[in-house]
Amino acid sequence: MKIYKQITLFGGILILIGALFIGFPIGKKYYKAYQVKEKLTNTVLDKKITLNDYQKVRNLKNGQIISKKSFKLSEIPPIWNNVSKNDSLISKYKHLDNIIFYLIVYKSDSLLINGIIAEPKKDGKFPAIIFNRGGNKEIGKVAKAKTLYSLLGFTKLVEEGYVVIASCYRENDEFGGKDINDVLYLTETIKEVEKADSNRIGMLGWSRGGMMTYLSIKYSDKIKTAVIGNGPSDLEKLIIDRPKIESMVYAKLIPKYKENKNEELKKRSVSYWVDELDKNSSLLILCGTEDKQVNPNQADIIANKLAKIGYDFKFKKIKTDHKFSDKKEELNNLLIDWFKEKL
């Protein structure tokens, strides 16, 4: 009996250690996310859409702006702390001094959607680029912060003379369902941006944003050219590499997923409808060969299909990760060169 008690006690200790080993990193992650969320309180990103706002826009068209407010990055501590040191921009973000940022609210279907605009401080009319960020499920001020922070990585384009606009996506995220309208209607929103040339619209999508970009070129003829960075082209094959994505993302976000799994995944997978892409547009596909989130073969799949139909595209593989973490300068140069040539 004594030996049994000792074994039980030892087993209990092991379980406790295991729980702490697993639970501590998870708890730390959620606590950090909570801290960031709290630090966004009372910033411009904390502004909520009210019932009164919805009453104002009953007769507005999709894409029309209901509100537009400029803001400074220094007014948003979690963002500012990532781009500054001693209250000054660090060297790689010095160009942000020459950019004006706006938080907008615009109409999409019967909803009001948050968006971010980054434009040059100088006068002029500039080509517009719609930026589609990656990620899913974020809501409220966290969604706005994620969109803004993701957009900052591509602001060299603004310095080069482009207006960049991004949707924060609707809170009822369908992962490429009705939420695609939040992106498509930005082509109308751009018409209200004084510095943007609505006749020269490009698009840039990263990861999940790549899927949104493929869908946009399928449904719109207003995107002159687009860049896809590590975007999935076959969502069903993505399950093989990342099994948890099915239960954590697809099943939770895609309407009627269990009943129509194959159909819904194909709707969001460009490899099944590549011939429906706007023939007058063009694509630059960028692939990080060390990507652990979206298997590089996803880029190979779509590149092969585009080649078969003679689509205007370029395919570039680079030895780096999902975010091109160690290739930022090369990435910026590729983007600038592409949009200068195609847009």
> Is the separation of the CB atoms in 23 and 127 below 8 Å?
no
Predicted pLDDT at 3: 62
Predicted pLDDT at 33: 46
Predicted pLDDT at 29: 42
Predicted pLDDT at 36: 59
From 282, 277, 287, select the one nearest 341 (Cα to Cα).
282
14: enclosing H helix or E strand: helix 2-39
Predicted pLDDT at 42: 87
Q: What angle do CA 334, 242, 136 make, to 5 degrees?
A: 65
Q: What does each of the 343 residues of the chain score in pLDDT, given as a tens digit? A: 556 555 555 655 666 565 555 554 544 444 444 555 778 998 999 989 988 898 888 889 999 999 999 999 999 999 999 999 999 999 999 999 999 999 999 999 999 999 999 999 999 999 999 999 999 988 899 999 999 999 999 999 999 999 999 999 999 999 999 999 999 999 999 999 999 999 999 999 999 999 999 999 999 999 999 999 999 999 999 999 999 999 999 999 999 999 999 999 999 999 999 999 999 999 999 999 999 999 999 999 999 999 999 999 999 999 999 999 999 999 999 999 999 999 9
Predicted pLDDT at 184: 98
Predicted pLDDT at 313: 98
Coil/strand/helix, residue 251 = helix
CA distance 183 to 139: 16
112: left (phi over 0), alpha (psi -120 to 50) or beta: beta
Coil/strand/helix, residue 79 = helix
292 token code pair: 């652990």
> Is the separation of the CB atoms in 295 and 241 below 8 Å?
yes
* DSSP label of 308: H
- Please tell me the pTM assigned to this model: 0.91
- Beta bridge partners of residue 105, listed in sequence order: 67, 114
